[in-house]
A and B are shown apart, each in its own frame.
Chain A
Amino acid sequence: MRTSEFSEAASRSGGKQLSGGKRLLIAALILLLLFACATRLLSFLLVPPQYTRVKVHVLENDPPEDLILGTSHGIAAIDPDRLAASTGRTTYNAAAGGEYPIDIYYLAKDTVSSGAPRRLIVEYDPTYWLYTGGMNNTELYLIRVMRPSLTKAEYFLSSCLASDFRNALEPWYLNLSGLRSIPENVRRKQSDAYRNYSMALFEDPLQTVMENGFIAIDDSAQNGRDSETHVLISEDGAASKAYETSRRWFLRTVDLCRKNGIGLVVVETPIPSSTLAGDRAFFEDMNARMRKMAEENGFVFLDYVTGQNAVPDGTDIVCGTDGDGAPRDDGGFSDAEGHMRVSAARRFSDVFGKALSRLP
């Protein structure tokens, strides 16, 4: 009798047996730990290294005086060295494919905390402002490679809270088609180029990622991507909503520049003339809106597509018309959408650099 009473009392007081709540807590912690390890491992195996990791590293450790942010058009069209030749400032191209206004804002904010650039050059692609989809690989990756900070937390909450929980908890789920490249991923992540944040890691026969962030697309490269025509946002509810969201994020970037004394130049790089011919109404409409924003908020807008520029009074810049020296023939681009080949890009960068040097 006494023995069983004793053991009963022991289990009740939690002597050898843990209470239900404690057991649950331990189990939950074990589960969380296992999951964290599994997801970390899967990220390591499945997610290939991206050049954006290098770019974020540069921004956080060695920010330039002139910082270029923008989309895949900007990454292919703007050679920072050619700009620097005219402006005399250190210049870096941190544009990326899949870099949307929200990403541009947080990259700019992240840079500011390391040392505000003198000037921010935002490459503007109106088609990006119509995007209604969820998170993409670029954004997920950017959030992860950013160093821990309030900016990173804010970036995470702004983009991940409203989207599929897998983006935050299982970001590798977008990289499943690369199962065969697991050994490749592992090798690259353990290489010196990776550890030293070198762009040499991203070799490709048809394009070179330069250390200054510019991607030199080979003159022979042919991506075969067709151009699209776009609806006017005044005629499409979904597009209009997406535009509003993009605009809000863009204006936060404008605000950020104002608060930190950063000069802002928005540039729209040229697109093939045949593409423009098929979509003129859209570009005219979008660029008119951007010009209005530029005038209202006091920043510069250089429109190499339809010429609706906003520059300070008295500045003498030829931009967006035939004769401004920018390449527009289809041969200068690797696809109909508008990714410039290297020769055309360098010509454009010379022109753009000279225009920049004329700004006050």
Chain B
Amino acid sequence: MPHISLGFLLFTALSAAVFYAVPKRRRWIVLLVFSIAYYLAAGPALILFLLFVAATTFFGALLAEQKKKGAVPAVLVLNFGLLAILKYTNFFISNLNRIPGVSIAEMRLLLPLGISFYMFQATGYLLDVHWERTRAEHGFFRYLLFVSFFPQILQGPIGRFGRLSETLYAGADFDPDNLRRAALRIAYGYFKKIVIADNAAVWVNYIFDPSRNTGSRMGIAGVLLYGVQLYMDFSGGIDIAAGIAHLFGVRLDENFRQPYFATSITDFWHRWHITLGTWMKDYLFYPLSLSGRIGRFGKWCRKHLPKQAGRALPIALCNIIVFLAVGVWHGAAWHFILYGLYSGVIIGISGLLAPQYRKWKSALHIDDKSRSWHLFQIFRTFVLISISWFLDRSDTVRQALILLKNSFAGPFFSLGLPFDGNVLKAAVRFGTVLFGCALVFGVSLKKEQGVPVMERLLAKPAALRIALLLFFLLSYGLFGDNTAFGGFMYANF
């Protein structure tokens, strides 16, 4: 049931209606039933994976609570092993096939809907129980709801049991404000997706088409538009998920915090796909950094290397490993791996050179509290991130490098968008993307300045909200792209 289908809208409306019709204590059961139904609609066989992940982590957590050794590693191996097989088998095969003489057939493996998200959420829970950060859930069906909750199963956010369970099982009382929040957030999310992302995608798909040799500076336009498309598509989808959760009084963790206002790559990853970043930090980065082997390496570094290098090197190494994981999480391809490493290496270097940066800044008399420095940092980060989009969006490393090279080598006047001759259509599409970005920028700026935009909207007269919602509703038809039937980009993870 694609999010953009009529069926999904009706499904969601029905789930809300049934939710509030049922007594408070049973409301979580309604959520579970609808979540399972949603998943079954995607393909009956796929639910076996969901149940496998839920069951193994559920029992693993119970065993971990009783301090049974070996339970946690076993469950982790089972789950991540499964994910690795499903996601990466063909990657390994295709690389092996590059060895002359080797020819293995690639397997037909399906990737169960949302597995990259719910598996991370489930294993995070297991580790939280293991490290005594949260109690184990003793009710299997209550736990199953945590794993399968339908608004977030498609593309996250990746939740934490401690926080999510506060509102997931509460069976919220009917609060009109929740419904208002839901409507506004959902409409805003669809606006970002249908009006902005889908329109930008038309050009992005053209520019990055592997059958086309884009030998001009179009690559620059391509990554800028891709940066727009990716953000609008993904954050729009998250808005829809969070909005739907609002219908039931459930709070999901934020996944985006005005990422393009970031002042460094590190800061960017604290603002972009936040829950993946925090998952990696809490369940991979810290444990890895604190592990015996790295600990010993760290001791060696601190003993034998100059102070900053000694401190920073082991951390930088772990960080690179983590970003390798982030890259790999995105997909089984070399360009994704490089995409992750790119950020990892930049962060690692800046960690190693932190005192140097401080010295250069004071030598150049740069006041790092000044507004102009802040703007420079934003601009610098934006450029660095845009370069990384070459690696994310291209189909191969080769294509990424060619596009990147052409962006700086091609004739200057070729910086532009592909054009099929229809001036009006191109102008309208461009204007739409621009206007959409301006609107979202305005909202983001306010949020960056700490203004609680949603709460302010709720305090305004109803007529304003009605007008806003009407605008959004009509914008889907008037300004949305009507040439393709697109799903969400992160739905294939």
Contacts and interface: CB of A to CB of B under 8 A. Distances in A.
- In their complex, do chains A and B touch, with some C-beta pair under 8 Å? yes
Interface of A: 20-21, 23-24, 27, 30-31, 34-35, 38-39, 42, 133-134, 160-170, 172-174, 176-177
Given A173-B476, A176-B482, A162 B5 contact: yes
Contacts of A42: 474, 477
B466 A38 contact: no
Given A24-B176, A177-B425, A31 B7 contact: no
Residue from A133, A167, A176 with most neighbouring chain B CB atoms (10 Å): A176
Contacts of B9: 165
Given A165-B4, A165-B5, A38 B482 contact: no
A31 B176 contact: no
B485 A161 contact: no
Contacts of A160: 6
Contacts of A34: 466, 470
A133 B478 contact: no
Given A23-B176, A42-B477, A170-B476, A31 B6 contact: no
8 contacts: A31-B470, A42-B474, A134-B485, A161-B7, A162-B2, A166-B476, A166-B482, A170-B474
A165 B186 CA distance: 14
Contacts, number: 73
B474 A38 contact: yes
The 5 closest A-B CB pairs, nearest first, are A170-B477, A173-B477, A161-B7, A24-B176, A20-B176
A42 B477 CA distance: 10
A173 B482 contact: yes
Contact of B179 (A24, A30, A164, A169): A24
Contacts of A163: 5-6, 485
Contacts of B482: 166, 173-174, 176
Nearest to A156: B6
Contact of B470 (A20, A38, A133, A177): A38
A24 B180 contact: yes
Contact of A27 (B174, B466, B474): B466
B473 interface: yes
B476 A21 contact: no
Interface in B1-50: 1-2, 4-10
B124 interface: no
Interface in B458-478: 462, 465-466, 469-470, 473-474, 476-478
Contacts of A167: 6
A174 B174 CA distance: 38
A172 B177 CA distance: 32
A332 B5 CA distance: 43
A168 B6 contact: yes
Nearest to B425: A177
Contacts of B176: 20-21, 23-24
A196 to B, nearest CB: 31
B485 A133 contact: yes
Contacts of A38: 470, 474
Nearest to B483: A174
A167 B477 CA distance: 9
B480 interface: yes
Contacts of A173: 476-478, 480, 482
Nearest to A163: B5
Q: Which of A23, A38, A164, A166 has the most CB of B within 10 A?
A: A164
Task: Tell me which of A31, A39, A133, A169 has the highest count of chain B C-beta atoms within 10 A of its own C-beta.
Answer: A31
B480 to A, nearest CB: 7
Contact of B5 (A23, A31, A164): A164
A242 B2 CA distance: 18
A162 B465 CA distance: 29
Contacts of A168: 6
Contact of A23 (B1, B462, B473): B462
Given A27-B465, A162-B5, 15 more contacts: A20-B176, A24-B179, A30-B466, A35-B474, A42-B474, A42-B477, A160-B6, A163-B5, A164-B485, A166-B480, A169-B477, A172-B477, A173-B478, A176-B482, A177-B425
Contacts of A39: 474, 477
Contacts of B2: 162
Contacts of A161: 5-7, 10
B4 A176 contact: no
Interface in B193-231: none
A176 B478 contact: yes
B174 A21 contact: yes
Interface in B162-180: 174-177, 179-180
